[in-house]
Chains A and B, each alone.
Chain A
Amino acid sequence: MISTPALQDLTMLSITNLHANVADKPILKGLSLSINAGEIHAIMGPNGAGKSTLGYTLAGRPGYDVTDGSVTFLGEDLLALAPHERAAAGLFLGFQYPVEIPGVSNVQFLRESLNAQRKLRGHDPLSGADFLKLARAQADAMGMDMDMLKRPVNVGFSGGEKKRNEMVQMGIIDPKLAILDETDSGLDIDALRVVGDGINRIMRKPDKAVLLITHYQRLLDYVQPDFVHVLAGGRIVRSGGPELALELEREGYKDLAA
Chain B
Amino acid sequence: MTNLPTRRDEAWRYADLDALARLWPLPAAEQIIVPEGTTLSRVIVQDTGGVHQINLILERGAQALFYVLNCGGDYGRVDLSVTLKQGAHFSLQAAQIGGDSQTLEIVTTVTHAEPDATSRQIVRSVLAGQATGTYLGKVAVAKGAQHTDSEQSVKAMLLDRSATANAKPELEIFADDVTCAHGCAIGELDAMAMFYLQCRGLTPADAKTLLLQAFIAEAFEGAEQADDLRQRALAKLESVV
Which residues of A are interface residues toward B (Cβ below 8 A)? 59-62, 82-84, 86-88, 92-93, 95, 98-99, 101-104, 108-110, 112-114, 116-117, 120, 152, 169, 173
Contacts and interface: CB of A to CB of B under 8 A. Distances in A.
A82 B206 CA distance: 14
Given A83-B195, A101-B196, A114 B201 contact: yes
Contacts of A86: 199
B217 interface: yes
Interface string B197-228: 11111111011001101110100000000000
State the majority secondary structure of interface residues on B: helix
A191 to B, nearest CB: 21
Chain A CB within 10 Å, residue with most, of B199, B213, B215:
B199
B195 A109 contact: no
A84 B198 contact: yes
B197 to A, nearest CB: 7
Contact of A101 (B201, B203, B206, B211): B211
Nearest to B194: A62
B195 A61 contact: yes
A87 B214 contact: no
A82 B204 contact: yes
State the majority secondary structure of interface residues on A: helix
A59 to B, nearest CB: 5
Contacts of A88: 201
A87 B200 contact: yes
A109 B191 contact: no
30 contacts: A60-B198, A61-B195, A82-B198, A82-B204, A84-B198, A84-B201, A84-B203, A84-B207, A86-B199, A87-B198, A95-B196, A95-B199, A99-B196, A101-B193, A101-B196, A101-B214, A103-B213, A103-B214, A103-B215, A103-B217, A104-B213, A104-B214, A109-B210, A110-B200, A112-B202, A112-B210, A114-B201, A116-B201, A116-B206, A117-B201
Contact of A113 (B190, B192, B201): B201
Given A62-B191, A99-B193, A112-B206, A104 B211 contact: yes
Contacts of B206: 112, 116
A113 B202 contact: yes
Contacts of A116: 201-203, 206
A66 B66 CA distance: 51
B100 to A, nearest CB: 26
Contacts of B211: 101, 104
Contact of A104 (B191, B195, B198, B210): B210
A109 B200 contact: yes
Contact of A87 (B191, B193, B201, B213): B201
A113 to B, nearest CB: 4
B196 to A, nearest CB: 4
Contacts of A93: 199
Given A87-B200, A87-B201, A104-B211, 7 more contacts: A82-B198, A84-B198, A84-B203, A87-B199, A102-B214, A104-B210, A113-B197
A10 B204 CA distance: 31
Nearest to A83: B198
A113 B196 CA distance: 11
Nearest to A101: B193
Interface string B168-203: 000000000000000000000011110111111111
Shortest 6 CB-CB contacts between residues of A and residues of B: A103-B214, A113-B200, A117-B201, A83-B198, A99-B196, A87-B201
A104 B214 CA distance: 6
B153 to A, nearest CB: 14
Contacts of B202: 84, 112-113, 116
A114 B195 CA distance: 16
Interface in B27-76: none
Contacts of B190: 99
Given A62-B191, A99-B193, A101-B193, A83 B199 contact: yes
B195 A62 contact: yes
